[in-house]
Amino acid sequence: KEKLEGTSIILSIVETTHANHAFEIAKSVELGQYQGWVAIGGDGLLFEIINGLKARSDWSTVAASMPFAVLPAGTDNALATSLGIWDVMD
């Protein structure tokens, strides 16, 4: 958050509070108010978000038009490691 303060980027920060919360958010959020998503977490958070988005009736539109970024901040970050993302600050 601190890295983006002072920029022209408008943030809407949502912290998950329980298991499958990210799934619920991704499945039901009104996407028209956003220009992209950034997930900060581990593989489990990414799994929930992708599955929530795939559960939407507008999934194909979302996949084609909504930029999505992941900043690895989980325990193991297996996906980020596989993609060659070693450090959030790189």
* Residues designated as active site: 43
Residue type, 21: H
Q: Which residue has the tokens 């499958």?
A: 20
- Rounded CA-CA distance 67/88 in Å is 18
* Entry field: residues in the chain: 90
- Rounded CA-CA distance 79/59 in Å is 22
